[in-house]
Chain A
Amino acid sequence: MPPDVPLINDRLVLWVVSELHLLFAAFVLGSPIFIVISEILGVRTRDARFERLARETMRIVAISYSLTALFGAAMTFVLVARYQTLSNFIFQRFYPIFGLYATFIVVETILMYAYLYSWDALERRKSLHISIGVALNVVGTLVMFLMNGVGSFMLTPPSSPDRARLWELVNNATWTGLNLHRFIANIAFGGFMVALFAAFMYLTSRKEEDSAFYDWMGYIGNFIGVAALIALPVAGYIYTKEIFAYNATISTLLMADKLAWFFVIQGTMVGLLFLGAGYYMWLSIQRIKGGPRFRTYFRGVFWVALIGLIIWLVPQNFLPSLTTKPAGPIGEVAIPEKAIFLGLMPAKGLAVSAIILVTAFLYLLYRQAIATGTMTWGRIDTKAQLTLTFLPAMAVYTMTFMGAVRESARGEWHIFQFMADKSAESYLTPLGYAATVSGLITVIFFLLVSGIFWLGFKVGH
């Protein structure tokens, strides 16, 4: 760190509060999607567990909602107080969008509390209750789309940001990609957070009935997380392609220059998410009658996923940027000539596709084992519950870390090639620093979420 950068500065404060706001926002926006689906499944299958899952998750969402607002207000405060030129421009150009945003937030809040507190009152009018839930999701998604318009605008603004029409500002080159990516990522994130909650509750439960329920809930959370995770790389690819089409130099910075090693770390985390999800299924299958007969297939899948992950992560070189001159011969730190294909996108794409496909295959095997055997809920290996702790750790860390990458992609610009960042902290943060800050944010988020679980479900019980 340069000597003139204090330990805590405006940029760091904005970074931390923005990420915490976005993490809670992702949770309160992503979870209601499957909460409503769970409620619908409860009505259709008459399985009371779906109803309980929906209800308990909604309670966590409600508590998280206030923290989302709190960090959102803190973010706005820092922006207005310390980044006046930028916030003035953004608020003026997007004034109608912020007006709509505020309106939708009010509507969303009303719908959220109506959905939560009318559960018993509308016990006999389920379709009305579900309709409120669906409306909550529609409004929540619109809120996200509106703010994605502002966020994506900063990276890919139209040609004349000060004169462009409002729709051109919002519907910028990467709005669609960001919407799609965040929508799917929020569902994955919500799923893994439910799994974390279930693991927390399972490990601290003393009743067999609760253990059985939270074991099942963890299974559902992992299922939602994995299902969305499988689709996520496709959305990520679309988003990156939009960035590339907008300005190839951003992609160069991201994939070949200073931020290239950030993607090695991101690949590590995403790969661990896939392997972790697979390991949970491996442990889960052990307690299914007849399940162990699938173990050979599982081992094969782990081999493919592991090799795929290694190919995905093999770096093209060990240089921090494209312009770094190696200390020794280039052959020491760059991939050898005849193995160069390992460092190129076709190999990476194939490796990622293989990981996705084998994970999907693993899930089909898992479903087959459940369909043909007898599952004993509440008697799972404790390691499976610890794996459900590991998965959200990786999911949250990946989100915070990739948030840093997305912001870094603008380089020294507040608004790309339009408004320069002239603050004292206008620099690209090196990988280690970005990862450390992201790790700290992840830990803070985890502590806050643990507090919510504890206050909401343990204190007084």
Chain B
Amino acid sequence: MRLIITTMAIIVAIWLIPFVLSDESGLKFGWPYSVFFTLATLFGGFLFYLLRMPPMGPFTSSRRAIGSVVLVFLVSIGIITLLANVSPQFAFEGAATAGATAEERGKAVFNDPKVGCFLCHTVQGAGGTRGPDLTHIATVAANRKPGMSAQDYLKESLENPGAYVVPSFDNIMPPVAKALSPEAFSDLMTYLKALK
């Protein structure tokens, strides 16, 4: 009984604390975390319940024994599979980009982990922060260097990133253009120029 009360009290606290904390506290967990901590607490409660369970005698028949072994095996596998299926899922994404527009292919290049643009740059709220936000880079690029077009500025940034480093950022970007095929480079340029 004490175990059930303790478990329930922890779960109630998990769901109540976010209401008490302000956003500024920097400790306010979102609801997916509340679900996570609830599941963890339920599991903890189950674990300590197992420690208190009275001993279980031998099975009366081989059939029952085998049935129990199969049940334990299937339930264990089933629970993990269920957990994996309710966890965040990305969509099936084919590598083949046939039929896609140049902008779509360019976006794929941008988000390709092997090229790594998104690791440092954010576009529309997603991506890293070590480099400037590129959400409106096409507009920004047109005015970045007097007399230089957006096309030329973006080309220069991909070929020789050190030529102009945005203030407050470090000169850490590699010359990405060297790692790209001419087609991929062109697609990436198209994508960046569409970010207005």
- Mark A residues whose CB is within 8 Å of B: 1-2, 5, 199-200, 203-204, 247, 249-250, 252-253, 257-258, 261, 264-265, 268-269, 275, 279, 282, 286, 298-299, 302, 306, 309-310, 313-315, 318-326, 330-339, 381-383, 386, 389-390, 393-394, 397, 411-412, 417, 420-422, 426-436, 439, 442-443, 446, 450
| Residue numbers in A under 8 Å from B119 (CB-CB) | 252, 322
With A203-B59, A249-B116, A252-B113 given, is the CB distance from A5 to B80 under 8 Å?
no
In the complex where A252-B116, A299-B51 touch, is A331 in contact with B28 (Cβ < 8 A)?
A: yes
Instruction: Report whether A383 and B33 are in contact in the complex, using a CB–CB cutoff of 8 Å.
Output: no
- Name the segment of B124-132, B139-147, B152-160 touching the other chain: B124-132
Whether, in the assembled complex, B62 has its beta carbon less than 8 Å from a beta carbon of chain A, the answer is yes
Whole-angstrom CA separation of A106 from B88 in the bound complex: 46
A393, B95: Cβ atoms closer than 8 Å:
no
Instruction: Evaluate contact between B89 and A320: CB separation under 8 angstroms.
Output: yes
Nearest residue (CB) in B for A257 is: B113
Which chain B residue shows the least CB distance to A416? B114
Partner of B73, one of A258, A282, A321, A446: A446
User: In whole angstroms, how far apart are the Cα atoms of A275 and B50 in the complex?
Assistant: 12
Partner of B77, one of A309, A386, A434, A443: A443
Q: Quick one: given A286-B55, A389-B73, are A319 and B88 in contact (CB under 8 Å)?
A: yes
Output the least CB separation between A103 and chain B (Å).
37
**Chain B interface bracket (under 10, 10 to 19, 20 to 34, 35 or more):** 35 or more
Q: Are A269 and B80 in contact (CB under 8 A)?
A: yes
Whole-angstrom distance from the CB of A159 to the nearest CB of chain B? 14
Query: Which of B1-9, B63-71, B182-190 lies at the binding interface?
Result: B63-71
B27 within 8 A of A: yes
A281 nearest CB across to chain B (Å): 12
Tell me the nearest residue of chain A to B107, going by C-beta: A323
Compute how far the CA of A308 lies from the CA of B95 in the bound complex, rounded to whole angstroms: 38
- Cβ-based interface call for B175 (8 A): no
Please give me the residue from chain B that is nearest to A1 by CB atom. Answer: B92
- Interface: B56 (CB within 8 A): yes
Can you report 20 A-B residue pairs in the complex whose CB atoms are below 8 A from each other?
Answer: A2-B92, A199-B69, A252-B113, A319-B88, A320-B90, A324-B90, A338-B25, A338-B26, A338-B27, A339-B26, A382-B55, A382-B56, A394-B80, A422-B95, A427-B92, A427-B95, A434-B84, A435-B83, A439-B78, A450-B70
B96 at the interface (CB under 8 A from A): yes
> What 7 new A-B contacts, CB under 8 Å, besides A321-B90, A435-B81?
A2-B94, A249-B116, A265-B83, A323-B118, A324-B126, A382-B58, A432-B89
State A299–B50 Cα separation when bound (angstroms).
11
Segment 144-192 of B: residues with Cβ below 8 Å from A: none
Known: A325-B126, A381-B56, A439-B81. A339 touches B27 (CB 8 A): yes
Contacts of B25 in A (CB 8 A): 336, 338
| Cβ contacts under 8 Å, B23 to chain A | 331
The yes or no answer to B100 lying at the interface (CB within 8 A) is no
The residue of chain A having its C-beta at the shortest distance from the C-beta of B37 within the complex is: A310
Is B101's beta carbon under 8 Å from chain A? no
Q: Is the CB of B88 within 8 A of A431?
A: yes
A302/B48 in contact, CB under 8 A: yes
A239 to B49, CA, bound (A): 37
